[in-house]
């Protein structure tokens, strides 16, 4: 047994990951009814207020009615937000204040099981949050047809993509305040510049290139055509970027959460 902790070996999660996922699902189920009103109410406000309100002035954007354009953008960004906040605030709470992970690490489960389970849960949360928005958008006529259900696995993938970096932040955070930096410096700019409210092509060239490096524009690039009833262009590139962020974030968050919990 060496003096160095084997932090940097590949993650080896097992079936225990699904038990961690189940724990979170059971907790969510308890609070589900209370959250239902918000889940449907908020997209109604956004889509009616911005979609109809602004849509009157804007008309069509990128070949879509503004309401449809905005709805697809908000679907992608909501998937991002859900996974990011679950991966930062909830994971941090369970890791520190609640010591849920300490309790779990007295059972046959490992840190790798916990990280994999949390990541799956973050992605599940992305789907849970976006489904009501999709329903509201459909009710408002912003969804082209039943083919939009193809966007649901993409919501899950977007969740995986943003869960990893968020959990990495949780692993590094000394306190909740730390997350403000990540939200202010990365999440909010992505939300504003990645094509949620207007096409990326409106941006100057260098800004377009920059935005292409960040995952949200690729998430929007997949979700928007699927919701609008067409096949996404550059689907392969978008998938590779989202999967790449998911994999890198998963590795990094596993390593740093190991370092935090096993010492």
Partner 1 sequence: MQDQEWALEHPQGPVAGVAPGGSVVVARGLTKAFDGRLAVRGIDLDVPQGGCFGFLGPNGAGKTTTLRMILGQSPPSSGTLSVFGLPVERSIREIRARTGVVPQADNADPDFTVAENLRMYARYFRLPRAVVAPRVRELLEFMELADRADDPIKSLSGGMKRRLTIARALINDPELIILDEPTTGLDPQVRRMIWNRLRQLGHAGKTLLLTTHYMDEAERLCDDLVVMDGGRIIAQGAPRALVEAHVEPYVVEIQGDAATLQRLLGSLPGVRLERVGETGYCYTASLAPVLERLGQVPGISHRHRPTTLEDVFLRITGHELREA
Please say which residue, 25 or 39, places its beta carbon nearer to partner 1: 25
List, in sequence order, every residue forming a beta bridge with 65; answer none if it has no partner: 60
Question: Which of 23, 203, 237, 243 lies at the binding interface for partner 1 (CB under 8 A)?
Answer: 23
Kindly tell me which of 99 and 230 has the beta carbon lying closer to partner 1. 99
The minimum distance between CB 119 and partner 1, in angstroms, equals 18
Of positions 131, 210, 248, 261, contacts partner 1 by CB under 8 A: 261
Name, in order, each residue with C-beta under 8 angstroms of 248's C-beta and a sequence gap of 6 or more: 164
Measured from the CB atom, is 105 or 251 closer to partner 1? 105
* 33 lines the binding site for partner 1 (CB under 8 A): no
In the complex, minimum distance from the CB of residue 89 to partner 1, in angstroms, rounded to a whole number: 14
CB of 263 to partner 1, least distance (A): 6
Note whether 235 and 210 are within 8 A (CB).
no
Residue 19 contacts partner 1 per CB under 8 A: yes
Nearest approach in angstroms of CB 104 to partner 1 is: 6
Residue 229: left (phi > 0), alpha (psi -120 to 50), or beta?
left
Q: Are 94 and 213 in contact (CB under 8 A)?
A: no
Least CB distance to partner 1 at residue 26 (A): 7
Contact 172, 258 (CB under 8 A): no
CB atoms within 10 A of CB 41: 12
Give the residue carrying structure tokens 């990326």: 200
**Which residues inside 82-121 make contact with partner 1, applying CB under 8 A?**
98-100, 102-110
- Distance, in Å, from the CA atom of 159 to the CA atom of 162, rounded to the nearest integer, reads 5
- Rounded-to-10 torsion of CA 136, 141, 142, 143: 90
Using the rule CB under 8 A, which residue among 22, 32, 240, 247 binds partner 1? 22
Three-state DSSP at 197 gives coil
- Shortest separation between residue 102's beta carbon and partner 1, angstroms: 6
218 close to 94: Cβ distance less than 8 angstroms: no
CB of 112 to partner 1, least distance (A): 11
Closest among 147, 154, 150 to 126, alpha carbons compared: 154
Q: Give the count of residues interacting with partner 1 (CB under 8 A).
A: 26
Span 175-214, contacts to partner 1 by CB under 8 A? none
Per rule CB under 8 A, is residue 8 in the interface with partner 1?
no
CB of 10 or CB of 31, closer to partner 1: 31
Hunting for tokens 């096949």 — which residue is that?
231
Footprint of partner 1 on this chain (CB under 8 A)?
1, 3, 5-6, 16, 19, 22-23, 26-27, 30, 98-100, 102-110, 261-263
């Amino acid at each position: 047994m060496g003096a160095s902790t084997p932090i940097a070996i590949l993650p080896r999660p097992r079936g225990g990951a699904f038990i961690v996922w189940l724990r979170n699902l059971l907790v969510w189920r308890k609070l589900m009814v209370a959250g239902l009103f918000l889940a449907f109410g908020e997209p109604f406000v956004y889509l009616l207020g911005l979609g109809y309100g602004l849509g009157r002035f804007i008309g069509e954007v990128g070949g879509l009615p503004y309401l449809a354009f905005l709805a697809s953008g908000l679907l992608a960004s909501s998937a991002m937000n859900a996974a990011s906040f679950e991966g930062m605030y909830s994971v941090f709470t369970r890791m520190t204040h609640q010591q849920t992970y300490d309790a779990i690490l007295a059972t046959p489960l490992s840190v790798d099981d916990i990280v994999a389970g949390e990541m799956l849960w973050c992605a599940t949360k992305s789907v849970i949050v976006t489904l009501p928005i999709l329903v509201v958008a459909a009710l408002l006529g912003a969804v082209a047809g039943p083919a939009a259900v193809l966007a649901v696995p993409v919501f899950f993938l977007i969740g995986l993509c943003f869960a990893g970096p968020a959990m990495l932040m949780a692993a590094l955070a000394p306190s909740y305040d730390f997350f403000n930096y990540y939200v202010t410096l990365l999440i909010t700019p992505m939300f504003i510049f990645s094509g949620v409210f207007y096409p990326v092509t409106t941006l100057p060239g260098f800004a377009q290139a920059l935005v292409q490096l960040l995952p949200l524009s690729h998430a929007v690039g997949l979700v928007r055509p699927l919701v609008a009833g067409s096949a996404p262009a550059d689907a392969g590139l978008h998938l590779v970027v989202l999967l790449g962020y998911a994999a890198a974030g998963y590795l990094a968050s596993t390593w740093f959460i190991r370092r935090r919990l096993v010492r």
